[in-house]
Amino acid sequence: MIYFGELKEKKGIVNIIKDRCKGCSFCVEYCPRDVLEMSEEFNVKGYHPPRVINPDNCCYCQLCEAICPEFAIFVTLREEEEREREKEISRP
């Protein structure tokens, strides 16, 4: 096993601002972890926004956020992961 010390994979929470999306599907195509998929629903502008299908796969790489031309998707760091990490570090 490769030892990475206390380094742990980051987890992200995807935030989609649906009504701002124009349905270009760039985020779906370029997410390296296949977290997203285009949905069938319509937003107020009549586009299909993406939806999250694999929330646990998101690795907080922020690629979706960088490639979105509409400022409609972004990620936040998953807090409970942080707490879990602290717990692990303090374990005797």
Partner 1 sequence: MKPEDRVEGRHPMEEFLRMDRMPHIWCSGCGIGIVVTSFIEALQKSGLDPNKVCVCSGIGCTGRVAGYVKLDSFHTTHGRPVPFATGLKLANPELKVVVFSGDGDIVGIGGNHFIHAARRNMDIVVICVNNFNYAMTGGQVAATTPIGANLSTAPYGNFEYPFNLPYLAEACGATYVARWTCLHIRRVTKSIQEALQKRGFSFIEVITPCVTLYARRNRLGDGLNLLRYYYENSEIRHGADTRTLDIGYQGKIIVGKFVDIEKPTFLDCMNNHLRKVLGDKYQPWGVKS
Report the residue number, 31 or 75, with the smaller CB distance to partner 1. 75
Residue 91 backbone dihedrals phi, psi, to 5 degrees: -65, 135
Contact 42, 22 (CB under 8 A): no
In the list partner 1, ligand SF4, none, the entry touching 85 (Cβ below 5 to 8 angstroms by class) is: none
Contact 38, 25 (CB under 8 A): yes
Task: Work out how close the CB of 12 gets to partner 1 at its nearest, in angstroms, rounded to a whole number.
Answer: 9
- Hey, which residues between 13 and 32 contact partner 1 (CB under 8 A)? 13, 15, 17, 20, 22-26, 29-30
In the list partner 1, ligand SF4, none, the entry touching 59 (Cβ below 5 to 8 angstroms by class) is: ligand SF4
- Residue 22: CB atoms within 10 A of its CB come to 15
Query: What number of CA atoms fall less than 13 Å from residue 52's CA on the CB side?
Result: 16
Report the residue number, 24 or 57, with the smaller CB distance to partner 1. 24
